[in-house]
């Protein structure tokens, strides 16, 4: 059987999509593209420029204007790649709690999604790509040959994010993380444009109680 040309991975916050997507892309020799980076970058730029996050018109204009680049890692500080906004390194700033708290509002704006989705389609439709997000299998690349919907219980996802933040030296309370994830999922799932949902032809992998390698093995088997 031929390998899938385009792999889409969607799912709720902190379900392990990036970890799985990155490993799968490495294994197949494909490009890994994490679309969450783009929404985080727009949110970072909006806060940086002091924009009112309720101002949809201003945020949309910003999303259309800024240049987001993802490049090979320039530093060995645990990053998998560099994220640049108009040339400025924002790899770690876009992972801050303040971005987590505001990204779902920004990513719900129709104009923001349009600007980001166009770029994602241009990159994804070339093929040999693993693209990760919320709406990849449903909206961005509905033609994907393999669609995975990666889930895990909210408590398991909060526990993983808690450990991730602790390892990065930015600890936050478990309760706050859990509350933040639930809020983000709620907004992402109920927005009007491209809400988070499983594509009809997606295969669900529930990663509760599974190690990273076990999840990878399940996904790898689906590529055969
Ligand atoms: O890593 P984590 O699952 O916490 O989040 P992410 O994948 O970096 O996505 C951050 C936020 O961007 C999500 O909560 C969504 O609001 C938004 N997003 C989206 O709307 N559509 C995508 N394709 C990817 C992310």
- Ligand 1 neighbours by CB, cut-off 6 Å: 13-14, 18, 35-36, 39-40, 103-104, 107, 133-135, 184, 188
Rounded Cα distance between 116 and 75, Å, is 26
Give the residue-averaged pLDDT of 150-170: 95
For residue 62, the model assigns a pLDDT of: 98
Rounded Cα distance between 136 and 134, Å, is 6
Instruction: With CA atoms as reference, report the closest residue to 95 among 43, 56, 53.
Output: 43
Q: Ligand 1: which of 12, 15, 134, 177 to mutate, judged by most atoms within 8 Å of the beta carbon?
A: 134
For residue 9, the model assigns a pLDDT of: 98
In order of 69, 80, 170, the CA distances from 76 in angstroms are: 18, 9, 18
Give the residue-averaged pLDDT of 82-93: 97
> What's the distance, Cα to Cα, between the start and end of the chain in Å?
7
Q: Are 212 and 18 in contact (CB under 8 A)?
A: no
Q: How far is the CA of 1 from the centre of ligand 1 (A)?
A: 32
Q: Report the predicted TM-score, pTM, of the whole model to 2 decimal places.
A: 0.96
Which ligand 1 atom sits closest to the C-alpha of 11? 3
Residue 219 has pLDDT above 80, yes or no: yes
Give the residue-averaged pLDDT of 30-57: 98
For residue 2, the model assigns a pLDDT of: 83
Over residues 92-129, the pLDDT tens digits come to 999 999 999 999 999 999 999 999 999 999 999 999 99
pLDDT averaged over the chain? 96
Q: How far is the CA of 100 from the centre of ligand 1 (A)?
A: 9
Where exactly are the structural domains of the chain? 6-36+96-217
Percent of the chain with pLDDT over 90: 96
For residue 21, the model assigns a pLDDT of: 98
Q: What is the CATH number of domain 6-36+96-217?
A: 3.40.50.300
For residue 151, the model assigns a pLDDT of: 97
For residue 1, the model assigns a pLDDT of: 57
Give the residue-averaged pLDDT of 195-204: 98
């Amino acid at each position: 059987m031929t390998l899938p040309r385009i792999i889409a991975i969607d799912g709720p916050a902190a379900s392990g999509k990036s970890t799985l997507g990155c490993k799968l892309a490495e294994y197949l020799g494909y490009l890994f593209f994490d679309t969450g980076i783009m929404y985080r970058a727009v949110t970072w730029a909006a806060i940086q420029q002091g924009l009112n996050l309720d101002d949809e018109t201003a945020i949309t204009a910003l999303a259309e204007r800024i240049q987001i680049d993802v490049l090979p890692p320039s530093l060995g500080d645990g990053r998998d790649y560099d994220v640049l906004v108009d040339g400025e390194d924002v790899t770690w700033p876009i992972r801050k709690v303040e971005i987590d708290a505001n990204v779902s509002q920004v990513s719900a704006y129709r104009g923001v999604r349009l600007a980001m989705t166009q770029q994602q389609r241009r990159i994804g439709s070339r093929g040999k790509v693993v693209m990760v997000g919320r709406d990849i299998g449903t909206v961005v690349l509905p033609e994907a040959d393999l669609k995975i919907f990666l889930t895990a219980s909210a408590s398991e996802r909060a526990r993983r994010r808690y450990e991730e933040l602790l390892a990065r030296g930015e600890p936050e309370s478990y309760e706050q993380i859990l509350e933040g994830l639930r809020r983000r999922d709620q907004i992402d799932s109920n927005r009007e444009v491209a809400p988070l949902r499983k594509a009809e032809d997606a295969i669900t992998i529930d990663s509760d109680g599974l190690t990273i390698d076990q999840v990878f093995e399940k996904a790898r088997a689906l590529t055969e």
